[in-house]
Amino acid sequence: MPRYALKIEYNGAPFAGWQRQADQPSVQAAIEAALAKLELRTHTIAAAGRTDAGVHARGQVAHCDMEKDWAPFRLMEALNHHLKPQPVAIVDAAEVDSDWHARFSAIERRYLFRLLIRRAPATMEAGHVWQVKHPLDTALMRDGAAHLIGHHDFTTFRSVMCQAKSPVKTLDKIEITRVETDAGVEIQFGLAARSFLHNQVRSIVGTLERVGAGSWTPEAVRDALEAKDRAACGPVCPPQGLYLMDVGYAGRVWTAHQ
C-alpha cells in the first residue's frame, strides 16, 4: 500500500483537538472521513503532533496508507473537495517510503503563539490570538525565556496529563518579536524543538506573559524550571493563539503544489 504525507492547515476553533474522539468533532476524524469517500473502508492516520482543542495549524503533518496509487496532487485535490465546508485544507501531499512516519520521522517542530495587546475587544482576530489589555515588556520576557533554552527537565512546564516518558527536552529556540499592527501591538513567540511536552508551549508563554507584565522577574523563570514542580508554573495561556507552523524531516518531502 503506498504511503502519503499530508501537510495540513486548519482552524482549530470548531474542533475538540486533533485526535479522534467518540462524541466530539476532531481534525483527524474529518480527514479520515474524507479518505473514506475516496476508498470505502476505515482509515487511520497518524500525525506529527496532537494539537489541543482550539489550537490552529499552518503546517501539521500526517500520513495515510492508500490501496490505490494516487498522484499526490490528485489526492490533495480530492481530499479538499470532501473536506468542505470544514476549516481544514490539505496544502501539499507527497508519496513517501512505507516506513516513513509523520510523528517518529520528524526532527523538528515549530510553534507560533500570537498575543494581542489591545484595550478594545478583538473582532477580526477573535479566536486567533490571546488578547490582554495591559502593556508587556518584551526585553524582560526575552531575559526570562533565555533560562529555558537548551536541555532541561521541563516538569514544571508540562501538563499533569502529559503521556511523554520523560520530561527532559531540548528547547532549541524561543524568539519573541513585537509587531505593530492596525489591530494593536502583537507579541509573537516562536518556539522550536525536536518535540514538545503536552501544554509545554502554552505553559511557557503564560509564564513569560507574567514576566512581561512585571508580576515575575526573569530569574523567577529559572527558579520555576529548577523546581521541577508543576505548581511552580505560571498560568497556562488559552489555546486560541497557538499555531503548529511546521514540522521538519530529513531530506525533501514536499513538492510545493500550493
Record the cell numbers describing residue 168, joined without a space: 527532559
User: In the Cβ-directed half-sphere of 154, how many Cα atoms lie within 13 Å?
Assistant: 28
Record the cell numbers describing residue 94, joined without a space: 507527497
Place of cell 520521522: 105
Alpha helices (H) along 116-217: 138-146, 200-212
DSSP state of 134: S
Of 52, 65, 153, 172, the catalytic one is 52
152-233-208 Cα angle (round to 5) = 85
Q: Is 52 a catalytic residue?
A: yes
Spatial contact of 198 and 154, defined as CB atoms under 8 Å apart: no
Residues with active-site annotation:
52
